[in-house]
Amino acid sequence: MAFLSHRRKAWQVVSGGGGVDTEFITSVNAGTKSAIDGFFGMKITVGGSAITVTEVGIYGNATHYHGTFDVYVRSLTGTDLGHATVTWGTAAQFYYATLSSPITLNASTSYYIMTDDLNSDDVYISANTTVTPTAVATVDDAAFGQPPADEGTGSNHSYGPLSFKYH
């Protein structure tokens, strides 16, 4: 069962199970655009309480590829904990897709949020992009490759950028 909720002057659909999930990334300062081949995204570390991820997302805008891509939640070893196929649009915002099963991310544990491009003609925002996360986890670094490796750009950097919704 779903119903509409009016919160902060924005209407949103709320599932019958209760509350509204929160977007992890609250703002994006877009860096340069580039074509990337392979897996890319960000490394995060969950804070003092576990969180449940329900959706994964990628940032889109008019200069990006517009289509569908899988966004993955992965362990530090690169094991796929879950993923969903996200369809991008042209507005400068995050586009999300629901995971088939919610994923619990344990407290004080690091994970990778990744997507892939097997076709280097797609344009993404590079690792010099900075993001602002909520307080439930930190963004430790941009990441690339399979298994993932840290880019070395530092905290609050992400390729893509990517995000997720949680409760």
Query: pLDDT digits over 100-149, tens only?
Result: 999 999 999 999 999 886 454 455 566 678 899 999 999 999 988 887 78
Query: pLDDT digits over 38-57, tens only?
Result: 788 899 999 999 999 999 99
- This prediction's pTM: 0.82
d(CA 69, CA 81): 16
**C-alpha dihedral (4, 2, 81, 127), degrees to nearest 10:** -20
Query: pLDDT digits over 67-110, tens only?
Result: 677 889 999 988 999 999 988 777 788 999 999 999 999 999 99
As to burial, measured by CB atoms within 10 angstroms (0-12 exposed, 13-18 middle, 19+ buried), residue 74 is buried
What is the widest separation between alpha-carbon atoms in the chain?
45
pLDDT of residue 64: 57
The CATH class given to the 22-166 domain equals: mainly beta
Query: pLDDT digits over 3-43, tens only?
Result: 333 443 333 433 444 568 999 999 988 776 666 667 888 99
Whether the per-residue pLDDT at 2 is higher than 60: the answer is no
